[in-house]
Structure 1
Amino acid sequence: MKALIFFTVDVFTQTRFSGNPLAVVLDADTLDKPTMQAVAAEFNLSETTFVTAPADPANTAKVRIFNRSAEMAFAGHPMVGTAFVLAQQQPDLAIALFEVPAGIVRVEIHRDGDGAPVGASVTVPQPLSLGETIAPEIVARALQLDRSDVVTAHHLPIVASNGNPFVIAELTRDALSRCDPSLAAFREARDAYPQLGGRFALHVYCRVGQMLQARMFAPLSGTWEDPATGSANTPLAGLLLSLDPGAQDARFEIHQGVEMGRPSLLHVEARRTSEGIVASLRGSCVPVLRGEITI
């Protein structure tokens, strides 16, 4: 049996026991996919990452991301947290290039005046893609809300992605606090839209200027609610920029996890490029645990 070192960090926060926790397992090259999935289920966090050797030595690492039930092509808070952990081990690490199924992810490390890592910025691997719209009634039923709680003046609920698809919907401010996900309704929504590949993750928000309050629900993958979701907030920022044809970029301060008692803060920027609307996000991290897994 081999002992593997792991760390946990709280991401998108400067305060321990808030933000979104992440487990990072180092030197995981000997683990097969079923073992990685079992370890992720054991941690029982929104995501767990496994750091392995890169296919291209020009990159920092290959990073495999698992939620409680499946491997993921991309996710935001695992990129920030994994880079933070590696930066703690490598004092000279300034830019990390991670190989994930969605592409190459560039992560810039942020350090304090003493050189200690404090957070990171992530450039998402794919430009914004917008898919089909979703009936507002479907969103309302999934969160046990009224149809009138779903705001459609700016856009209908819509599938959006920067490498990881989410259904994004705007809610009234009051409704955002009243969300109560129904597992049965999420299953009905998944079955009503088989073209989504068996996935129905719902990211909802309300907006006050450039400040957004957001919540993300993915009970079908074991995440009843997520404290902070980088891969949902980047397409949200891109979607909002797409609705303002006169703007070249947009910056948002996004608060998530408040209702869960794990407040998180994400700074997200979307900008128009020749390749489409691309996005980046930044956030802080704090270390929590270090341990060993014997496998």
Structure 2
Amino acid sequence: MPKFYTVDVFTNQRFGGNPLAVVMDAEGLDQTVMQAVSAEFNLSETTFVLPPVDPANTARVRIFNRTAEMPFAGHPMVGTAFVLAGMQPELIDAVFEVPAGLVRVRIDRDDDGAPLAATIAAPQPLSVAGTVAPDVIAKVLGLDLTDIVTSTHSPTIASNGNSFVIAEISRDALGRCAPDLDAFRAARSSHPQMGGRFAVHVYSKDGRTIRARMFAPLSGTWEDPATGSANAPLACLLLSFEPGVDSAQFEIHQGVEMGRPSLLHVEARRSAQGIVATLGGSCVSVMEGQISV
């Protein structure tokens, strides 16, 4: 029977941050079972740890939300690294194989060697797949058109391995977001470039400090407490509008409105490959057990 662990990611307080289930020794589970297990956990994501294809890497990791497999996601990478670090005292640098590419991880430990946090490098540089009309964002989140801020950029489809619509909104509007499922379905149908999904990451900023919320109700996540794979392209996108700046560090707060406050540290920097991102945060162990399949 495979063993599982749950951790709260991007927090140092148990029952804060974004919960993650990590299933170890998942070789005997096929995709249908993995999807069923993920739906049973009913968390934003569940990861399944497998032997790497390339023995030079640490593990192959499959990531599932409640309804589908994902090519990349941030908090699953951070949380999975934290769990593995608890089993392997010598593990400091890890490389995970995911569908979007290779994810490099650095693990932070306390003076006694216990894991505290992890920082990952997003597997792809920033890519942009067009914009979305501000009125679409207003409709899907039950906001007024005047709540959508376009002074820096229009709502933009951006990715470092997993696509999101990223939109700036007013600080007051952050607390008034109310997802409309019919509007989300219509938006998904009218934006095929998002590959059959429509996830919206909204934010308000004060310098390098950001408050954010992410909604993906069509994937089973009404709201996510902390979304690394959305905050990475957010940081990269913001850096792209500062042509004279080589790198920028952001402190991103998410999950506040849900009662699961999360803190992500994200750095975007220009490289030969494009604008790339690293992101990290603390983790806390919560539960462990076995799965009967």
TM tier relative to shorter chain: over 0.9
Structure 1: give runs of 5+ residues left out of the alignment.
none
Q: Where do residues 140-159 of structure 1 align in structure 2 (5 Å cutoff)?
A: 140-159=138-157
8 A contact 2:129–2:193 mirrored in 1: no
Alignment partner of 1:169 out of 167, 170, 176: 167
Distance (whole Å) between structure 1 residues aligned to residue 210 and residue 238 of structure 2? 11
Q: Contact 2:20/2:79 (CA < 8 Å) preserved in 1?
A: yes
CA RMSD of aligned residues (A): 0.5
Aligned with residue 216 of structure 1, among 205, 214, 217:
214
Residue 247 of structure 1 is aligned with which of 239, 245, 248?
Answer: 245
Work out the percentage of aligned pairs sharing the same amino acid: 68
* Matches of 1:162 and 1:195, distance apart in 2: 15
- Which runs of no fewer than 5 residues in structure 2 stay unpaired? none
SS at 1:55's partner residue?
A: coil
Separation in structure 2 between the aligned mates of residue 197 and residue 287 of structure 1, nearest angstrom: 34
The equivalent residue for 1:287 is: 285
1:112 partner letter: D
Q: Tell me the equivalent position of 1:274.
A: 272
CA distance in 1, matches of 2:196, 2:79: 28
CA deviation after TM superposition for structure 1 residue 194, in Å: 2.0
- What TM-score results when the alignment is normalised by the length of structure 1? 0.99
Query: Is 1:199 aligned to 2:229, yes or no?
Result: no
CA contact (8 A) 2:201 2:230 kept: yes
Match of 1:118 in 2: 116
Mapped partners of 1:193, 1:128: distance in 2? 19
Query: Which residue, 25, 32, 35 being the options, matches 1:34?
Result: 32
- Which residue, 49, 68, 71 being the options, matches 2:69? 71
Q: 1:225 deviation in Å?
A: 0.1
Instruction: Determine the C-alpha separation between the residues in 2 that align with 1:29 and 1:215.
Output: 35
- Tell me what 1:19 maps to: 17
* Structure 1 runs, 4 residues or longer, greater than 4 Å off: none
What letter corresponds to residue 38 of structure 2 in structure 1? A
Corresponding residue number in structure 2 for 1:91? 89
TM-score (structure 2 length as normaliser): 0.99
2:150 aligned partner, one-letter code: T
**Cα distance per residue 1:67-117 (max 9 Å; x no partner):** 000000000000000000000000000111100000010010110011000
Report SS of the residue matched to 2:291. strand
Give the secondary-structure state (helix, strand or coil) at the position aligned to 2:290.
strand
- Structure-2 separation of matches of 1:8 and 1:26: 11
**Partner SS for 2:250:** strand
Compute the displacement of 1:196 (Å). Answer: 1.9
Deviation track 1:171-198 (CA, whole Å, cap 9, x = no partner) reads 0000011000011110011111123221
Q: Which amino acid aligns with 1:109?
A: I
Matches within 5 A, 1:37-56: 37-56=35-54
CA distance in 2, matches of 1:194, 1:11: 31
